[in-house]
Structure 1
Amino acid sequence: MRINVLQHTPNEGPGAIQQWSQDHGHEMFIYHPATFGNLPTADQTDMLVILGGPMSPNDDFDWIKQERALIQQMMNDHKPIFGACFGGQQIAKTLGYSIKKAPHKEVGWAPVYLKSNIIPGIPEQLTALHWHEEMFEIPKEADLLFSSDLVENQGFILNDNVIGLQFHFEPAADNVREIAINDNQYPMEHNDLHQTAEEIINHGVPEENKKVIYQLLDFIAKH
Structure 2
Amino acid sequence: MWVVMTRKVAILQNITREGPGLLLNVLEAQSVPYTLCDLSQGDPLPDEDSLLAVVILGGPDSANDNTLKIRQELQLIRQVLKRQIPYLGICLGMQLLVKAGGGKVLPCHTPEIGFRNGNGQFYRVQLTQAGRQDPLLSGVSRTFPIFHLHGETVELTTGMQLLGIGNDCPVQLVKVGTKAYGIQGHVEITETMLKLWLKEDPDLIRLGNAEGILRDFHALKSELHTAGERIFRNFLMMINP
Aligned to 1:65: 71
CA shift for structure 1 position 77:
1.3
Larger helix percent: 2
Is 1:153–2:171 an aligned residue pair?
yes
CA distance in 1, matches of 2:210, 2:42: 29
**What amino acid maps onto 1:182 in structure 2?**
E
**What amino acid maps onto 1:218 in structure 2?**
R
Correspondences of 1:5-154 after superposition (within 5 Å)? 5-109=11-115, 110-115=123-128, 116-117=131-132, 118=134, 119-154=137-172
Is 1:216–2:231 an aligned residue pair?
yes
Aligned to 1:164: 182
Deviation string, structure 1 residues 137-181 (Cα, Å, up to 9, x no partner)? 224222212211111011112344211011111111111111122
TM-score by length of 2: 0.84
**What amino acid maps onto 2:124 in structure 1?**
P
CA shift for structure 1 position 188:
6.1
TM-score by length of 1: 0.90
**What amino acid maps onto 1:199 in structure 2?**
G
Contact 1:41 1:70 in 2 (8 A): no
Q: Please, what is the CA RMSD of the aligned residues?
A: 1.8
Aligned pairs, how many? 218
4+ runs of 1 displaced by more than 4 Å? none
Identity %: 24
Identify unmatched segments of 5+ residues in structure 1.
Answer: none
Q: Please say which of residues 77-86 and 134-143 is displaced more in the overlay.
A: 134-143
CA distance in 1, matches of 2:69, 2:231: 27
Identify unmatched segments of 5+ residues in structure 2.
Answer: 1-6, 116-122
Contact 1:114 1:122 in 2 (8 A): no
Contact 1:2 1:29 in 2 (8 A): yes
Contact 2:17 2:196 in 1 (8 A): yes
